[in-house]
Structure 1
Amino acid sequence: MAHEDHSLKERKVISIGTVRDLTGLSERQIRYYEERKLIFPARTGSGIRKYSFSDVERLMEIANQMEEGVQTHEIRREWKKKEKENENWKKQMLKGQIQAHFKQSRQ
């Protein structure tokens, strides 16, 4: 169920108008954050942007950081750093699981 909840959170089904209403950001601000590579909406065949609940959360986080005076390039750099740390952590966990599996199979 948790995995299903995660995938529902990632579904790109929310219009920019609804995102505007949920976040309090203007459509112009939302498009600006897309231009700055902080948010990545899906596009329909006719070019309409669609967002996920994760995108809405991310936009709210961006807005909070911007209010604190953090620049968009700093936000992007920090997120890339966190993504890299998470990827390294996942690799270490997988390595540990593989090692534990082979130790058990040899006993």
Structure 2
Amino acid sequence: MSNEPSYKNRKVITIGIVSELTGLTERKIRYYEERKLIFPERSAKGNRKYSFSDVEQLIDIANKREEGVQTFEIRQQMLRDKRKEAERESRQQMLRGQINARFGIQRE
């Protein structure tokens, strides 16, 4: 199995293309980055690079902002969601370990 991220998570899209895809201005996209709602990578020349997942996240953020949700509230919800996901993954890993131990399955 490859350690490469799926196509959806590869950071290859420039801010200009993201702006076209989302309808958001480049300034607004950079603002959401400042507010720690989106986390682009930087190229060797310092250009922001986004993934398709980032584009989806930006659309979700824009929709919430149109509904009147503040960026602080969006950030807090993102942190809660991330914490819940980490807890879920931890429980799954524990269960897998218990099942493996019960049935004598050795991991390679």
The question of a shared fold, defined as TM-score above 0.5 by the shorter chain, is answered with: yes
Q: Please show how residues 92-107 of structure 1 align to structure 2 within 5 Å.
A: 92-105=91-104
Gaps of 5+ in 2: none
SS of 1:9's partner is helix
Q: Given the two structures, how large is their TM-score scaled by the length of structure 1?
A: 0.91
Aligned residues: 104
Task: Quote the offset at 1:84 in angstroms.
Answer: 0.4
CA RMSD between the two structures = 1.9
Gaps of 5+ in 1: none
Cα distance in 2, alignment partners of residues 16 and 104 from structure 1? 50
Instruction: Give the match for residue 69 of structure 1.
Output: 68
Output one character per residue of 1:10-68: Cα deviation in whole Å (capped at 9) or x when no partner: 11110111001100000110000000000111111221111100100000000000000
The 4+ residue runs of structure 1 with deviation greater than 3 A are none
Identity among equivalent positions (%) equals 51
Say which structure is richer in helix.
1
Cα distance in 1, alignment partners of residues 18 and 104 from structure 2? 51
